[in-house]
Amino acid sequence: MRRSSQAVAVATTLVAALAACGGSDGDGSGGGAELRGTVKIDGSSTVAPLSTVASELFKEEQARVQIPVGTSGTGGGFEKFCAGETDVQDASRPIKDEEKQACASKGIKYEEFAVANDALTVVVHKDNTWAQCLTVEQLKKIWEPGSKVNNWNQVDPKFPKEPLKLFGAGTDSGTFDYFTDEINGEEGKSRTDYQPSEDDNVTVQGVAGSKGGLGYFGFSYFEENASKLKAVQVDGGGGCVAPSVQAAQDGTYKPLSRPLFIYPSAAALKRPEVLQFVEFYVEKHAEIAKRAKFVPLNPTQDAKLKQALATLKSQAGK
């Protein structure tokens, strides 16, 4: 877990909120006290399914708490979060310096938790028999700014003469930021003649509907649509590796493995329904990841997350 510079301030807020609501019984249930209210979540479409499962499980114990999950993209979500419009921000990348400044200018303090991992997955049509593996260099050739590659045989002369149709993340997406940084070498730099969307289901439908289609999104979306698409192995310099839970956890799926985050605001954490939901989310992260078909944290990440939560609880005398 990455620790934000505002952890101390948020710890104080958490202590006060924990004391006010009496804490939980250790299983995330909030000690059985019935809660009401709304926890507003927005941000990454990649993280949204994870937060949706977290909300569904939490509502089994706290049915009167409403937890809408929006998908404005990581960038679009941070705009709302730093304006105080949402309680929890889903992010498929860490908060940027300019977003930190935007939050600070509005007095928005927050905590950062890594709650799962992702193997950003490159996908092709299910009838694509040629693109079993692509190198980072080939992906860059396709996606770099100004690229004129519009046919598969331009990627590799051994590939068939099949029109290449591209689908991918929109510019407000953390997935876009991460993919362009790792593949093109600079965040935000990409060719623009493709179909962008902050909704990964649009990319699924686009690639599934085009034999020459290629796109990218989070691993969980591929898992949900494996019958419609094929995942491409990626060669980051050490050979072709398929996206998988193990490869994302052990770091062999390079360079497209990444952690996924939630950011609860300090102001929201003063409300028992938000505090207990976040506490539940963090404590149950492994179960939530499994149910949502995400990549769980590796042992090192898990230990750091548990220690961070234990530190906050100890300050509350729990």
* pLDDT tens, position by position, 218-271: 999 999 999 999 999 999 999 999 999 999 998 899 999 999 999 999 999 889
The CATH number given to 7-117+259-315 is 3.40.190.10
The confidence score (pLDDT) of residue 314 equals 60
pLDDT at site 307: 80
pLDDT of 261-315, one tens digit each?
Answer: 999 999 998 899 999 999 999 999 999 999 999 999 999 999 989 887 776 666 4
Please give, one letter per residue, the 3-state secondary structure of the chain. Answer: CCCCCCHHHHHHHHHHHHHHHCCCCCCCCHHHCCCCEECCEEECCCCHHHHHHHHHHHHHHCCCEECCECCCCHHHHHHHHHCCCCCEEEECCCCCHHHHHHHHHCCCCECCEEEEEEECEEEEECCCCCCCEEEHHHHHHHHCCCCCCCEHHHHCCCCCCCECEEEEECCCCHHHHHHHHHHHCCCCCCCCCCEEECCHHHHHHHHHCCCCEEEEECHHHHHHCCCCEEECEEECCCCEECCCHHHHHHCCCCCCEEEEEEEEECCHHHCHHHHHHHHHHHHCHHHHHHHCCCECCCHHHHHHHHHHHHHHHHHCCC
Rounded CA Rg of the chain = 20
Residue 309's pLDDT is 78
Q: Which residue has the higher pLDDT, 29 or 46?
A: 46
Residue 110 token pair: 């927050």
Mean of the pLDDT values across residues 150-169?
Answer: 98
Packing angle between helix 272-283 and helix 48-61, nearest 10 degrees?
A: 110
- Which pTM does this prediction carry? 0.81
The string of pLDDT tens digits covering residues 175-196 is 999 999 999 999 999 999 999 9
> Is-contact 260 91, C-beta < 8 A?
yes
Return the axis-axis angle of helices 299-315 and 7-21, rounded to nearest 10°. Answer: 60
Most distant pair of Cα atoms in the chain: their distance: 67
Listed in sequence order, the residues at least 6 apart from 194 whose beta carbon sits closer than 8 Å to its beta carbon are 166, 167, 168
pLDDT (tens digit per residue) in 106-130: 999 999 999 999 999 999 999 999 9
Is it true that 7-117+259-315 and 121-255 share their CATH fold?
yes
Q: Who wins on pLDDT, 186 or 3? A: 186
Domain positions in the chain = 7-117+259-315, 121-255
pLDDT bucket at 29, cuts 50 / 70 / 90 = very low
Residue 149 pLDDT grade (very low, low, confident, very high; cuts 50, 70, 90): very high
Supply 196's token pair. Answer: 């962008």
Rounded to an integer, what distance in angstroms lies between the CA atom of residue 249 and that of residue 149?
Answer: 33
CA terminus-to-terminus distance, the chain: 22
Q: Residue 15: pLDDT above 50?
A: no
Q: Each residue of 45-91: pLDDT tens digit?
A: 999 999 999 999 999 999 999 999 999 999 999 999 999 999 999 99
Report residue 1's pLDDT band, with 50, 70 and 90 as the boundaries: very low
Q: What CATH architecture is 121-255?
A: 3-Layer(aba) Sandwich (3.40)
